[in-house]
Amino acid sequence: MKKLLFVLFLTFACSSIYAQIKANMPSAPVYSNGESYGYYIDEIPGAVSYVWSVEGTSGAIIWTMPWDEKMVDLTFSRPGYSHIYCTVTMSDDSVEVYQYDTGASDE
61 in Cβ contact with 27 (< 8 Å): no
Taking only the tens place, the pLDDT of each residue in 57-95 is 999 999 998 899 999 999 999 999 999 999 999 999 999
Model confidence, pTM? 0.78
Query: Which domains does the chain possess?
Result: 20-105 (2.60.40.1080)
Helix (H) or strand (E) holding 64: strand 61-64
Confidence band, pLDDT 50/70/90 cuts, at residue 29: confident
Other Cβ atoms within 10 Å of 38 Cβ, number: 14
Helices within the chain (DSSP H only)? 2-18
